[in-house]
């Protein structure tokens, strides 16, 4: 692809909303812009291009962005040359609504259009907003080097899009079909990241464990399943290969889909010492009836069995989850099944949401959003309370134990302390002592809340 040089120095500020995939996409956008001669800045005040990378997963995410755009328009009035762009999932989802609500926006770019960002920013003189909204199943940005902030943990997108089509979810519509990046490129990426000083890599994908090298990618010569297998090509193989990268301390991944939790994945987690014993395994509901309406492709019983199998093979496995309450047709009984399953599994942590109908999805088109807002609120408060209690108990049980923590940086509250994560992804705060950022230290836990461990380094 030809590189476009900016006509004059253009300083770009990117503001990111939503999930880690968006954070990773912002790094990708920074990569595309930097190689075209743009400069990335950390402060809105010094930018002449502001890109808002948006989230469309729930209605409140969209509202937040629309308010933010209004606010940014005030700045645009004072700084008429300011280029304001809306990127990401919401750009793809409600392009016309954005143009109606925020006609002052200069460009609207979906997740498969970021290659055109330099051209879009340059064409700002024409007056009409630049629209980049084609989904492109052959776009994987495999050749683009993302620009990351220095740090200990790097996020690496290994797969884009999603083929699962859960009835509540907008992701397949705004991010398109599933496609994976070839394994040898990912291994090269990780070696480069280690060389740059990163210690931990988090592999990212919407259903990260359905990753398959080559076979599913329309970009590269297709392999038959047999060929791919012989070459070593599924997610378990990728973990095994990552585990061998010298200098890398830890590997994590998010988010796996329960239906793709295969034997090779479990085996790799059980045997690879760099692969953290941590799994974010979205449940969504504990009611098989609701799961069916969601098209999650597993029953509550199958999920329960998977967790049991994984815990048996991977001692001390930390499990977290996502849960939606108030989905179409969810009765009090269904909700109780969710509570019971959460109480039985005892997750280390959970992200919990009220169902939010998304235009375009199958649930929006064919199911009745029949649980009242008030009832959704009550159910949400109830499971949050349940989960807080469980997280607190699990963390209390760690008091007196020694955990391995990768020091990430100074604690926000106290410059004499570092914060970092345990293997199980629990935030831990401890006095710095002689330790350095990027070092793996042993910390004796002295106290704990539902979300944080506090401790001291031990030799
Ligand atoms: N496969 C992705 C899912 C991304 S969305 C992943 O696991 O990373 C993240 C979570 O948002 C989902 O697991 C689900 O719990 C929640 N979610 C998605 N669509 C929603 C909706 N319409 N209303 C409420 N919550 C939703
Ligand atoms: Fe969404 Fe289901 Fe894919 S939650 S991202 S459609 S696995």
pLDDT digits (tens, 9 = 90+) for 261-283: 999 999 999 999 999 999 999 99
The predicted pLDDT at position 3 comes to 56
How many other C-beta atoms can be found within 10 angstroms of the C-beta atom of residue 223?
Answer: 18
Question: Average pLDDT in the 408-416 region?
Answer: 94
**pTM attached to this predicted model:** 0.94
Beta bridge partners of 201: 154, 251
What SS3 state is found at 179? Answer: strand
Average of pLDDT values for 122-141?
86
Q: How far is the CA of 324 from the centre of ligand 2 (A)?
A: 13
Sheet of 318-325: strand order equals: 278-280, 318-325, 349-354
What value does the mean pLDDT take over residues 110-139?
89
**What are the pocket residues of ligand 2 if the criterion is a CB atom closer than 6 Å to any ligand atom?**
162, 164-166, 169, 171-172, 206-207, 257
Q: Which atom of ligand 2 is nearest to the CA of 175?
A: 5
**Residue 351 has which token pair?**
């992200």
Q: Which atom of ligand 1 is nearest to the CA of 254?
A: 8
Q: How far is the CA of 294 from the centre of ligand 2 (A)?
A: 10
Q: Ligand 1: which residue has its CA nearest to atom 3?
A: 206
pLDDT confidence tier of residue 358, bands split at 50, 70 and 90: very high
Higher pLDDT, 193 or 129: 193
On the question of pLDDT at 166 being above 60, the answer is yes
| Closest ligand 1 atom number to CA of residue 205 | 8
* CA 168 – ligand 1 centroid, Å: 8
Distance 155 CA to ligand 2 centre (A): 19
Do residues 282 and 321 lie in contact, with contact meaning Cβ atoms separated by under 8 Å?
A: yes
Q: Which of 65-74, 206-215, 322-331, 394-403 has the lowest mean pLDDT?
A: 206-215
Distance 17 CA to ligand 1 centre (A): 14
Q: Please report which confidence band the pLDDT of residue 44 belongs to, taking 50, 70 and 90 as the band edges.
A: very high
CB 427 within 8 A of CB 419: yes
């Amino acid at each position: 692809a030809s590189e476009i040089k900016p006509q004059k120095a253009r300083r770009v500020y990117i503001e990111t909303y939503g999930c880690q995939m968006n954070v990773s996409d912002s790094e990708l956008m920074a990569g595309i812009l930097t190689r075209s001669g743009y400069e990335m800045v950390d402060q809105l005040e010094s930018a002449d291009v502001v890109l808002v990378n948006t989230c469309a997963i729930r209605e409140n995410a969209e509202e937040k962005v629309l308010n933010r755009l209004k606010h940014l328009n005030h700045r645009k009035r004072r700084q008429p040359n300011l280029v304001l762009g809306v990127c990401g999932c919401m750009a793809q989802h409600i392009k016309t609504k954005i143009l109606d609500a925020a006609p002052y926006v200069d460009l609207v770019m979906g997740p498969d259009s970021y290659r055109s960002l330099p051209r879009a920013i340059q064409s700002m003189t024409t007056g009409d907003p630049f629209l980049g909204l084609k989904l492109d199943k052959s776009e994987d940005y495999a050749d683009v080097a993302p620009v990351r902030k220095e740090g200990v943990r790097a996020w690496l997108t290994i797969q884009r899009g999603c083929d699962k089509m859960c009835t509540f979810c907008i992701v397949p519509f705004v991010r398109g079909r599933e496609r994976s990046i070839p394994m040898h490129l990912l291994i090269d990426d990780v070696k480069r990241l280690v060389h740059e000083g990163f210690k931990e890599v988090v592999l990212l994908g919407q259903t990260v464990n359905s990753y398959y090298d080559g076979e599913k990618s329309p970009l590269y010569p297709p392999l038959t399943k047999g060929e791919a297998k012989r070459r070593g090509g599924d997610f378990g193989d990728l973990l095994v290969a990552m585990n061998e990268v010298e200098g890398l301390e830890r590997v994590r991944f998010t988010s796996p889909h329960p239906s793709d939790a295969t034997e090779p994945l479990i085996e790799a987690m059980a045997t690879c010492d760099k692969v953290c014993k941590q799994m974010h395994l979205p449940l969504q509901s504990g009611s098989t009836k609701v799961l069916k309406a969601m098209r999650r492709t597993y029953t509550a019983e199958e999920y329960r069995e998977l967790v049991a199998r994984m815990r048996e093979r991977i001692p001390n496995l930390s499990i977290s989850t996502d849960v939606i309450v108030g989905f179409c047709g969810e009765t009090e009984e269904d909700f109780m099944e969710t509570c019971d399953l959460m109480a039985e599994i005892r997750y280390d942590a959970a992200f919990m949401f009220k169902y939010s109908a998304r235009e375009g999805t199958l649930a929006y088109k064919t199911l009745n959003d029949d649980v009242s807002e008030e009832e959704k609120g009550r159910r949400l408060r109830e499971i949050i309370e349940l989960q807080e209690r469980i997280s607190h108990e699990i963390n209390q049980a760690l008091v007196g134990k020694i955990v391995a923590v990768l020091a990430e940086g100074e604690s926000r509250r106290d410059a004499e302390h570092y914060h970092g994560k345990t293997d199980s992804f629990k935030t831990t705060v401890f006095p710095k002592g002689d330790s350095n950022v990027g070092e793996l230290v042993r910390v004796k836990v002295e106290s704990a809340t539902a979300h944080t461990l506090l401790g001291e380094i031990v030799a």
